[in-house]
Structure 1
């Protein structure tokens, strides 16, 4: 509605604004009516075409950025059923081709053994059998050669004892085995690694279009290209310092042996 008001104040028709922005008139109309969510680039092109005052342009851009950020509260997800969240993630994985996971404190379900998955849900009241089943079903995506995965796992995430020592050793064996998949890069960050900055959250980047960031209270979803780029850059810093291939397998084997002993 704000954009429509600005257009009318500028004395422009929808057709003329569309021409200035190199957009279709129908797209401009859908943006103005709220039927389609514009990208930040779309908003900036329209504001420039309207010669909007700097203060107003900054306000509209800020609102658009907020609209491109979604909050998914943990309590709300639990009320809906954790299996519903797994279906949502499966859909996101089906529509994406390149994945980057930074795992700060625990492992993602895609890498986890059944015992580890059950233990990760043990603190949440209720029957989670369907959620466990959905998590295990999602692992099939790792074997889709059309998709590319990079996992960066900190030593804390790999070695935090969510299950018994023997089960943790098996979990580490699974991580090592997944490094042999041709479409999977799995790197580890030993505790002594000097990192660029201080990582605060587990996060995932899907292609270069969306980033999810996990907190204790829930999940933030970022679609603004600037926010996504920030997480891509952070991930690249960890990727440069992680151990991959045989070096990763040797470190994982060392940690597994420690659990078995």
Structure 2
């Protein structure tokens, strides 16, 4: 769970604890007896170790005579759950709906800050490279095979590279140039694509050489959309970060990663070396 989600869970637990005490239940044990729950459940909810369910909120508010707070608390519970979106749930209808969902975010964003330590960022991918990544997604999560539709939606994102005055700050680790999706022909096309997009007027593409001194550990890939939203990807879930103080940490991490990156001719040289390795 993201630290933002955990902070909100703890704040919710503290609020529920206050309701309990104000209603005359001096201990979690007394409240558990009134609800028929285990005492440990009351403790976990109040200390932010377990998210309360919507039915739990209704019971809590009824017993503490705070029914007027129930709707607000339920909305909070739903928001906490939305901060951690499991991939299996997001992708249950296939990969295309998730790609379609991203388009409005891209339309609103003016400044992008992107970090990918192992693969090429989706918006810079060729259709062939994207198809290989989606085939792995379909197999790994055992979801409906809609690779062609997912690729089409991902390719739609690329129009924002040429539209308006959006600024793209993209960082890739050198490993992303060698992570093999689809074999030499697909990789050759993808690396040529990177060389081409580097000349776009609003594109800043930095590459972190494998031996570069690091000022922060690489961590997971993340995408920052202005200073309003960060999406962090793991194998199990995608985390949405919207709390300003947490977004500031990702901005700081991005700046520290940038200190290890090379640009311009040095970045082109690394891509050229990756191309040459394909011919070995």
Normalising TM by the smaller chain, what interval?
Answer: 0.7 to 0.9
Distance in 2 separating the partners of 1:239 and 1:144: 25
TM-score of the superposed pair, with normalisation by structure 2 = 0.69
5+ residue gaps, structure 2, are: 1-11, 23-68, 140-144
Say whether the 8 Å CA contact 1:169–1:260 is kept in structure 2: no
Establish whether residue 101 from structure 1 lines up as the match of residue 114 from structure 2: yes
After superposition, where does 1:88-237 map in structure 2 within 5 Å? 88-123=101-136, 124-125=138-139, 126-237=145-256
Distance in 1 separating the partners of 2:265 and 2:163: 23
SS of equivalent residue, structure 1 residue 81:
coil
> Which residue in the other structure is 1:246 paired with?
265
Distance in 2 separating the partners of 1:132 and 1:68: 28
Tell me how many residue pairs correspond in the alignment.
210
**Residues 193 and 180 of structure 1: CA distance in aligned 2, closer, same or farther (over 3 Å):** same
Distance in 2 separating the partners of 1:122 and 1:114: 12
TM-score of the superposed pair, with normalisation by structure 1 = 0.73
Give 1:33 shift.
Answer: 6.4
> Which residue in the other structure is 2:97 paired with?
84
Say whether the 8 Å CA contact 1:195–1:241 is kept in structure 2: yes
5+ residue gaps, structure 1, are: 10-30, 38-62
Say whether the 8 Å CA contact 1:114–1:132 is kept in structure 2: yes
Q: Residues 47-106 of structure 1, C-alpha deviation per residue, up to 9 Å, x if partnerless? A: xxxxxxxxxxxxxxxx89x84971111101221331111111111010111000000111
SS of equivalent residue, structure 1 residue 80:
coil
Establish whether residue 256 from structure 1 lines up as the match of residue 275 from structure 2: yes
SS of equivalent residue, structure 1 residue 200:
coil
SS of equivalent residue, structure 1 residue 157:
helix
Q: After the TM superposition, which segments of 4 or more aligned residues of structure 1 sit over 2 Å from their partners?
A: 31-35, 66-69
